[in-house]
Amino acid sequence: MKSATFKVWRGDREAGDFQTYEVELEPGYVVLDAIHKIQAEQANDLACRWNCKAGKCGSCSAEINGSPRLMCMTRVEDVAGNGPITVEPMRTFPVIKDLVTDVSWNYEVKASIQKMTPREPDFEDGSWKMHQYDVERPQEFRKCIECFLCQNVCHVLRDHQMHGEFAGPRHFVFAAQAEMNPIDLTDRIPQLREELGIGYCNITKCCTKVCPESITITDNAIIPLKERVVDRSYDPLTKLVRRIFGRSDKG
Amino acid sequence: MRKDAWWIQPLFVFSVFTAFVVYSTWAAFQGAFYWHENLLSPFYSPEIWGASEHALWQRTGTPGWWPGFLPYSPAFLILWAPVSFRLTCYYYRGAYYKAYWPGPPSCSVGVPREAYIGERKFPLIVQNLHRYALPFALLLLVFLTIDAWNSFRFDAAGGGKEFGLSVGSFVLTLNVVFLSAYTFGCHSLRHLVGGGMDVLSGRPVRRKAYECVSCLNARHMAFAWTSLLWVAFSDIYVRLCAMDVWTNVRFF
């Protein structure tokens, strides 16, 4: 492949449109390379957020041919079909300029999630004894690079714009990381049900499909949290058993 | 807008689900040709009240307590169990919301409506009781295992039973294997055996159970489809054998 046609969305919060660029390609080009080349040679004012170019910083999230992806991890040859390659900003968040969106809402939601309350330390130096087996489960969620592709693809946020009522997959992963921690004592089930709106998730698994870190978001974070909410809110038998035997999901 | 053929998957799900629902409803209403010698269709298992030798209460006609204005088939007494289990299954929910609702038809495609309540209010809040369908699905596996075992037992020439092997034995055994792989990979079961706890170390039985269920859970979609298609095929096989269209070939 020697060249490819890119249709890049240009604009701001008020208005915008696709503009066409022809890019000479070099072997191994990813979409971010092409965007940088457009920036360098054809449109110096093209705005694009990026940092590591290695799929680890989560900055260059965009929609390539309509699918949410990291530009730095998408090879041009993989998305080049018959027509031009479209590159546009994430639709779930307000555009700042061109491919850059304002994702600050995510940090506000994250700050609102109940923090961990560690149990009493096991040793005098203030450390805990934890089995690696129990730690591995929440450790999967620490792989998140906060690219917010999962937030972008989730239809509850993307299409229904329920930002005030639904936290989104990234924050359920964050909540699960704390909720499943073996030394955590915080009860965040009521918050998950009410403020974070986990019941709005209807398990389309789109978040899992777009995750560049291959976190099993739906099966390992959201559904287990939904089941814990069911324990507490919807299942009369479990509620009764817990009341009689005083069982807790902690410990 | 996505430029790939995103519509293939929801179309496939819609077509196969619809075909399955139409066929299984038709098969359940038949009330005939659901057993052949030592084979019993899984749509009719357990046959609680029916005419075949497989029935727990072998009777002809309709149970006295059955409302007279309703048609009767032994399948009606048990099909609610697998239907409710699959209808509330976490995998199927995501799949049929996309295929039928559609909400959304596929990822990043757009939803053709504005109002959305998710699974927070009636009717979809009922989906949260998936775990209550689980014991019945597990109980069905016991009966289907007995059916698979019976498919290896043939009438002996001098009376009694003898061990044998037929194509039907394979069909019903694979049926219970696929259904078990699907049922034991259930998300609610995964939660109940250990996923609901933060500490599993030091609890070897729970830990092993959680690992086993998690292993099957990772392939839940594959087993959901395999078991769905195979249970329909099992009914077709038994039905066509009972109608003398196919012959249940016996190897020994």
Q: Is B108 in contact with A153 (Cβ distance < 8 A)? A: yes
**How many other C-beta atoms are found inside a 10 Å radius of the C-beta of residue A116?**
13
A250 touching B, CB under 8 A?
A: yes
Burial class (CB in 10 A: 0-12, 13-18, 19+), B159: exposed
The answer to whether position B250 is within a domain reads: no
What pLDDT band is residue A249 in, cutting at 50, 70 and 90? low
User: A23 and A7 in contact (C-beta within 8 Å)?
Assistant: no
- Per the structure, the complete domain to which residue B75 belongs is given by 8-242
Residue among A161, A180, A179 nearest A92 (CA): A161
Which CATH architecture fits A3-101?
Roll (3.10)
Residues of chain A with CATH 3.10.20.30: 3-101
* CA pair distance B74, B4, nearest whole angstrom: 46
Encoded tokens for B46: 């357990």
Q: What is the pLDDT of residue A246?
A: 73
Check CB contact of B97 with chain A, cutoff 8 Å: yes
What is the predicted pLDDT for the residue at A193? 96
Residue B180 located in a structural domain: yes
For chain A, positions 1-60, list CB contacts with chain B under 8 A.
none
On chain B, the residues whose CB falls within 8 A of the CB of A218 are: 94
Would you tell me which CATH number, out of the four given (1.10.1060.10, 3.20.20.210, 3.40.50.2000, 1.20.1250.20), belongs to the domain A104-245? Answer: 1.10.1060.10
Instruction: Give the pLDDT score at A183.
Output: 96
Element (H, E) at A233: helix A223-233
Predicted confidence at residue A242, as pLDDT, reads 80
CB interface of B with A, residues 104-133, below 8 Å: 104, 107-108, 110-111, 114, 116-120, 124-125, 128-129, 131-132
Q: How far is A182 from chain B (nearest CA, A)?
A: 5
Within a 10 A sphere around the Cβ of B76, how many other Cβ atoms? 17
Tell me what pLDDT residue B29 has: 96
Tokens found for residue A231: 């324990």
Q: Tell me whether residue B148 is in a domain.
A: yes
ipTM above 0.90, yes or no: yes
Examine the pLDDT at A1 and tell me if it is beyond 70.
Answer: no
Q: What is the pLDDT of residue B198?
A: 96
Q: Answer whether residue B247 is part of any domain.
A: no
> Rg of chain B over CA atoms, in angstroms?
21
Q: What is the pLDDT along chain B (252 residues), one digit of tens a residue?
A: 788 899 999 999 999 999 999 999 999 999 999 999 999 999 999 999 998 999 998 888 888 899 989 999 999 999 999 999 999 999 999 999 999 988 889 999 988 778 899 999 999 999 999 999 999 999 999 999 999 999 999 999 888 999 999 999 999 999 999 999 999 999 999 999 999 999 999 999 999 999 999 999 999 999 999 999 999 999 999 999 999 999 999 999
Mark A55-66 as b/e (b = at least 16 C-beta within 10 Å): bbbbbbbbbbbb
Domain total for chain B?
Answer: 1
**Is there a domain that residue B16 lies in?**
yes
Give contacts of A91 with chain B, Cβ < 8 Å. Answer: 108
B71 shares contact with chain A (CB less than 8 Å): no
Q: What digits encode the pLDDT tens for the residues A186-232? A: 999 999 999 999 999 999 999 999 999 999 999 999 999 999 999 99
State which residue of chain A sits closest to B114, comparing Cα positions: A160
Task: Write down the pLDDT at residue B112.
Answer: 78
B118–A65 C-beta distance less than 8 A? no
Which residue in A159, A166, A235 has the most chain B C-beta atoms within 10 A of its own C-beta, making it the best mutation to test that interface? A159
Size of interface A-B (CB pairs under 8 A): 131
Confidence at residue A243, expressed as pLDDT on a 0 to 100 scale: 82
**Which among A91, A227, A233 is the nearest to B191, CB-wise?**
A227
Closest to B104 (Cα-Cα) out of A203, A216, A90, A70: A203
Mean pLDDT of A122-148: 96
* Contacts with B73 (C-beta within 8 Å, 6 or more apart), sequence order: B28, B29, B30, B31, B44
Provide, rounded to the nearest whole percent, the portion of chain A with pLDDT above 70: 98
Chain A touched by B70 (CB under 8 Å): no
A160 touches chain B (CB under 8 A): yes
Chain A contact for B103, CB < 8 A? Answer: yes
**CATH 1.10.1060.10 domain locations along chain A:** 104-245
- Between chains, do A156 and B217 touch, taking CB under 8 Å as contact? no
pLDDT at site A250: 58
CB proximity A181 to B under 8 Å: yes
Q: How far apart are CA B172 and CA A74, in angstroms?
A: 46
pLDDT at A238 (0 to 100): 85
The full 3-state SS of chain B, as one line of letters, equals CCCCCCCHHHHHHHHHHHHHHHHHHHHHHHCCCCEECCEECHHHCCCCEECCCCCCEECCCCCCCCCCCCCCCHHHHCCHHHHHHHHCCHHHHHHHHHHHCCCCCCCCCCCCCCCCCCCCCCCHHHHHHHHHHHHHHHHHHHHHHHHHHHCCEEECCCCCEEECCEHHHHHHHHHHHHHHHHHCCCHHHHHHHHHCCCCCCCCHHHHHHHHHHHHHHCCHHHHHHHHHHHHHHHHHHHHHHHCCCCCCCECC
CB of A134 within 8 Å of any CB in chain B? Answer: yes
Cross-chain residue pair A200–B118, CB shorter than 8 Å: yes
